[in-house]
Amino acid sequence: MKVHVLTDNRSVPGGPRGEHGLSLHLESEAGSILFDTGQSDMFSGNAEIMAVDLSEVRMAVISHGHYDHGGGIPRFLEVNGSAPVYVHRKAFDRHLALRSGGRYEDIGLDPGLMDDARMVLTSGKVRLGDGITIFSEVGTEYPVSESNRSLFAGSEGNVRPDDFEHEQHMIVEEGGKSVLITGCAHRGIVNIVAEAKEILGRYPDLVMGGFHLRIRPGSGEDLQYVREMSQALSDTGARFCTCHCTDDSAYEVMKEMMGESVQLLRTGDILEI
């Protein structure tokens, strides 16, 4: 299996340009798979630079209903004429971020896309065959990131904290190995890994994606959370590749605690599994 990082917040020096968002391309025995599209057309231009043919993608999976993971869907529909796009049935609901001054900003997907014939609306656990499973409905036994507190859902007059029921994840099994891929891990990466273990009967060999972790300056609470989370992940025995919404300060703590079992991915990286 080979993974191309088409879009991430960070970029390989001298490589394709990145943006705030995530898009991964997988070459697997099951065929070519696109996981998320970033926030714009940038993933498509980067695919050309990295010699990835998006017209050959067999299926696309959108991790959740935020613009920085599905904003490029219209471009994907242009460059690929047949692949289904698997999106959680609640991903097209209204999603908001609370900004300074108490202002809510719409950070959702274009709801007009929901009626496109290529959209396949999902929920729960869906086995797509050839060792590919997408799943949502992740529990919250382990605490989730404080960063979620600024994220909401609903319409005017009915705004509520986002429960992230619209978030889904993907497992790819190939050659005796299993890879878990997540977009932002709003439900908590430890909880998501635990759910993957329930599905697989063991922990995945590799976990990759954004983990939605940040350490605010001077926040001992954030620091303690990242340390506890790092220990819990380390105890699984899996390898981890994080990116996108894991900030530099959180990654530094993870690296200090987890050593060679964790690495950072950037736009332009190619990972052989």
Structure tokens at 178: 């299993």
Residues of the chain whose pLDDT is less than 70?
A: none
- Do the bridges between strand 177-182 and strand 206-210 make them parallel or antiparallel, or are there none, so unpaired? parallel
Structure confidence at residue 226 (pLDDT): 95
Look at residue 174 in the predicted model and tell me its pLDDT. Answer: 96
Return the half-sphere exposure (C-beta side, CA atoms, 13 A cut-off) of residue 31. Answer: 14
Give the total number of structural domains in the chain: 1
pLDDT of residue 216: 83
Quote the CA–CA distance of 237 and 224 in Å, as a whole number: 21
pLDDT at 129: 86
Contact by Cβ (8 Å): 39, 20: yes
Q: What is the CATH number of the domain that holds 19?
A: 3.60.15.10
Range of the domain at 42: 2-99+106-272
The alpha-carbon radius of gyration of the chain (Å, integer) is 17
Output the pLDDT for position 90: 97
Burial tier of 153 (Cβ tally within 10 Å: 0-12, 13-18, 19+) = buried
Q: What was the pLDDT predicted at 82?
A: 97
Task: Write down the pLDDT at residue 102.
Answer: 87
Q: What is the pTM of this model?
A: 0.97
pLDDT for position 131: 95
The burial class, CB within 10 Å (0-12 / 13-18 / 19+), for 175 is exposed
Q: Please state at what angle helix 220-234 crosses helix 189-200, rounded to 10 degrees.
A: 20
